[in-house]
Structure 1
Amino acid sequence: MTTATTGLDDERVGAVLDEIARTAERNDPDVMKRAYATAADWPQPPTAQEAAELCAQAALPVHPQVGTFLYQLIRSLRPALVVEFGTSFGASTIYAAAALRDNGGGRIIGSELHPGKADRARSHLERAGLAGYAEIRTGDAREQLATLPGPVDLLLLDGWKELYLPVLKLLEPALRTGGLVVSDNLPMLPPEFTDHVRAAGNGYLSQQLPLGDGIEFSVRLQQEA
């Protein structure tokens, strides 16, 4: 008996993920070095919009360990709706959409501030054969994710770190009891965010996981009234 090639063994999925990884390896160090050097001369830290422009050519893909973890979570949870803050070139979206396809249904709604990156993410999803499971909204996530088609089963936070907490608070009314929050780039997370998900009484059970450069993994224990 033969088994259809799906998920992370799908040649189209693997080819696009490999391409994004090669782009990141080739471009990201120089792009980020220039971005930090430019912003260092500014009197104030860059805004999310300014940072998006500085990093427009950086792929910034999710680490394969984190991407595989997302795939595993989604295959197990079988969510109807996954939401992503910070799509970039769409690597994490591809991991999620592949799992949704292999589950037989579900949708991921991503948000990306930079229009060029959003277009590249859509192109990558199309080439991976996963466009039917994903929607990428372009613009400020606090506006683009304000309206959703149903309860959020899993939330991935992987965008501008200072917006993690505002985006989470925006989505808390839609985050169902038992919903999951995966927050990438643990060393860069603002303390007000980690304090919020770790503090007793805020409705989460949260811990650090050593995947990639570290993630904060949180379970919503109770939906906001």
Structure 2
Amino acid sequence: MPISLHAPPVRATLDRLFAAATLDDQRPVRTTTGTPQELADARESLYLPISARGGELLYALVRACRPETVVEFGTSFGISTIYLAAAVTDNGTGRVFGTEMSTAKIAAAEANLGEAGLADVVTILAGDARDTLADVPGPIGLVLLDGWKDLCLPVLRSLEPRLAPGALVVADDITMATMAGYLDYVRDPAHGYVSVAFPVEDGMEVSCRADATK
């Protein structure tokens, strides 16, 4: 079976986006306080991507567990979405539900997915993930948490009733101090997860929903 991650349209799109993301430090941020929507709008020019190695890890995990439903909290310009969508496409089954508050980023992400030839397997939901993900049907086989760090745990808790047994939950940027509460939760066996940190850039936590009765 071909690996679409290496196909020219996908590779060229990812290379272009990663190159653009290197300029994030030069892009202005209008405000550092406000509502989640105001913060999202203030950062609509920032790519805030996962690392390439983190993307490859996501691709491998989706290929291995073959989820019918993938949820992504924090789509941004769609870099991580492309990795997820490539894996779903190569599996021949499944759909990715992304979430994003910035309308400008949604338009850009949809254009980038179209450029990569992967738009058909992705739905991007506009608005606060705590609201928009409420209607995503279960069972959910894989979740990527890469939005606002203080919302990662509330988003996970809202999805837990719909997680498939053995579902994987991947959280990015675990070296950030604001991820401490999330990590305490998934690393506590009382909450039903088996959780492992992966040493990719900024760190990723991969947690298996091993006991769905918790």
TM range, smaller chain:
over 0.9
**Aligned match for 2:45, one of 49, 52, 57:** 57
Q: 1:153-185 CA distances to partner (integer Å, 9 max, x unpaired)? A: 000000000100110000000111100000000
C-alpha distance in 2, partners of 1:64/1:176? 27
Quote the sequence identity (%). 45
Q: Which runs of 5+ in 1 are unaligned?
A: 40-44
Matching of residue 155 in structure 1 with residue 151 in structure 2: no
Q: Is the 8 A contact 1:209 1:215 kept in 2?
A: yes
C-alpha distance in 1, partners of 2:213/2:143? 15
Q: 1:23-66 CA distances to partner (integer Å, 9 max, x unpaired)? A: 1113x1122xx43x843xxxxx4432222122110111210011
**Aligned match for 1:199, one of 170, 188, 202:** 188
Query: What amino acid does structure 1 have at the position aligned with 2:89?
Result: R
**Aligned match for 2:9, one of 12, 19, 26:** 12
Deviation at residue 216 of structure 1 after TM alignment = 1.2
Q: SS of 2:197's equivalent?
A: strand
Q: SS of 1:194's equivalent?
A: helix
How does 1:32-51 map onto structure 2 within 5 Å?
A: 34-35=28-29, 38-39=31-32, 45-51=33-39
1:167: which partner in 2?
155
Q: Is the 8 A contact 2:73 2:145 kept in 1?
A: yes
Deviation at residue 126 of structure 1 after TM alignment = 0.9
Moved over 2 A (4+): none
C-alpha distance in 2, partners of 1:38/1:49? 12
Q: How many residue pairs are counted as aligned between the two chains?
A: 213
RMSD: 1.5
Matching of residue 220 in structure 1 with residue 171 in structure 2: no
Q: Normalized against structure 2, the TM-score is what? A: 0.94
Q: Is the 8 A contact 2:175 2:203 kept in 1?
A: yes
C-alpha distance in 2, partners of 1:101/1:83? 15
Q: 1:85-132 CA distances to partner (integer Å, 9 max, x unpaired)? A: 000000111001001111112100000011110111111111111111
Q: SS of 2:47's equivalent?
A: coil
Matching of residue 72 in structure 1 with residue 68 in structure 2: no
1:29: which partner in 2?
25
How does 1:41-120 map onto structure 2 within 5 Å?
A: 45-120=33-108
Matching of residue 187 in structure 1 with residue 175 in structure 2: yes
Q: Normalized against structure 1, the TM-score is what? A: 0.90
Query: What amino acid does structure 1 have at the position aligned with 2:210?
Result: L
Q: Is the 8 A contact 1:172 1:224 kept in 2?
A: no
Q: Is the 8 A contact 2:49 2:80 kept in 1?
A: yes
1:141: which partner in 2?
129
C-alpha distance in 1, partners of 2:13/2:147? 21
C-alpha distance in 2, partners of 1:67/1:38? 29
Q: SS of 2:150's equivalent?
A: helix
